[in-house]
Amino acid sequence: MTSALPWKVGLELELLAPAGSSRESLANEIARSCDGQVKRIFYSQAEFAPLDGTTGFENLTLGFAVENEAGEILVKCVDDLTLVDDLDASQEPLAGWYRILSDDQRFLSLIEMHCDAKADQLNVLEPLARLFGVDRQIIDDGPLTRVSDQRGTSVAMAVSLPGERHRPCELITAPMTSDREEQIRHYLTLAENLSFSVPVEAAIHIHFDAERLKSAAVMKTLIKVFGHYRSDIKRLVGTNPNCRRLGNWPRAIYRLASNADFPALDWDEAVKKLREAKPVKFCDFNIVNLLSENVEKNTFEVRVIPGSMDADFILKTVRLFEALLKTCATQQIDVDQRFPGLMDFIAEIGLTDEDMEYWTSLWEAKPKHGKFGFLKALKS
């Protein structure tokens, strides 16, 4: 194991631009601070929106990638469709802003490959129309541009952005190691200077590189530790009750971790079994990425952190979960024995005295988890 090395992490910080501004302004400010450049990009997101028998729409929204002088992406400033409560939907769409909708993610992948995010709404789908051998359709003099196939079936639409959807800003960092404190403080200072704030539904997502976790024995430990302490961890960090898309793992995940044969499986077989248990992305601790073949997002994702612009809190939280994951990765706990209370457990995972004092002060007199915590997680 390489547990002594700094864990590679990436952060997703959900922020809100002030009225009259947009996520592009933060991207521009970050670029100016590092002599970089801003590139307008498409960013893919799913939205549940039943319409005429469809189960929902896939979206390409407009985002902004900040590249350094070497052309490496430092951050992305993108939309987050879960952030709605702070927005005034009655406002007119901002000129030049739009999103692309389809009922098939594969069409959006084609659009990302062949269409230019810098193009205007009327012309952005022209390359897609050429691929299908059709002309794009402009409806109502421009508010909606559509491409249908030769049978008339809709493929994708470019539509004006709903009121104030330019204001949400999910700041996605590139993977960071030893320089993460400097970078996080820098980005948050720039956001504060531009009067960005924390949205009502905001969360912080931490992506930990998953290479150290790719072992059936490690996954058993991880599932049991995070399953047992799930509720207490959320109380400790103060999970935002307004945050959307959280929840427990499926029961089948817990049953698999309790199977005596599971820890001895090789990784490929363990992945197969874990996939069969049908994990989902939108839950408290996302293991879908580390089970996928997407090498660009090979991560374990913590999704329970409340939105914040407090760099000290964010950094302490990163260190807390880093220590928890190191404990799981190095098998420093016998998960077949009774678990101690959360704070007793945290006291043994190698936090600094300062961090331990901080989390203890937050925990205060909160009740300990019951001794049947893992069983409760299994049943919930």
Instruction: Please give the Cα distance from 338 to 229 (Å, whole number).
Output: 12
Confidence of residue 306 (pLDDT cuts 50, 70, 90): very high
Q: Which of 49-53, 87-91, 259-263 has the lowest mean pLDDT?
A: 49-53
pLDDT at 262 > cutoff 60: yes
Q: What is the pLDDT of residue 206?
A: 98
pLDDT at 367 over 60: no
Annotate the chain with three-state secondary structure. Answer: CCCCCCCCEEEEEEEECCCCCCHHHHHHHHHHHCCCEEEEEEEEEEECCCECCECCEEEEEEEEEEECCCCCEEEEEECCCCCCCCCCCCCCCCCCCEEEEECCHHHHHHHHHHCCCCCCCCCCCHHHHHHHCCCCEEECCCCEEEEECCCCCEEEEEEECCCCCCCEEEEEECCECCCHHHHHHHHHHHHHHCCCECCCCCEEEEEEECHHHCCHHHHHHHHHHHHHCHHHHHHHHCCCCCCCCCCCCCHHHHHHHHCCCHHHCCHHHHHHHHHHCCCCCCCCEECHHHHCCCHHHCEEEEEEEECCCCHHHHHHHHHHHHHHHHHHHCCCCCCCCCCCCHHHHHCCCCCCHHHHHHHHHHHCCCCCCCCCHHHHHHHC
CA angle 204, 364, 309 (to 5 degrees): 25
| pLDDT at residue number 294 | 79
pLDDT at 49 > cutoff 90: no
Domains in the chain: boundaries: 202-379
C-alpha separations of 121 from 22, 103, 253 in Å: 18, 19, 44
Q: What is the pLDDT of residues 192-231, one digit of tens each?
A: 999 999 999 999 999 999 999 999 999 999 999 999 999 9
The predicted-structure confidence for 126-146, as pLDDT tens digits, reads as follows 999 999 999 999 987 767 999
Model confidence over 279-290: pLDDT tens digits? Answer: 999 999 999 999
User: Which long-range contacts does 291-295 make (Cβ < 8 Å, 24+ apart)?
Assistant: none
pLDDT for res 376: 47
Q: Is the pLDDT of residue 370 over 70?
A: no
pLDDT at 188 over 70: yes
Q: How confident is the model at residue 378 (pLDDT cuts 50, 70, 90)?
A: very low
Per the listing, tokens 């407090």 go with 310
| Greater pLDDT, 338 or 65 | 65
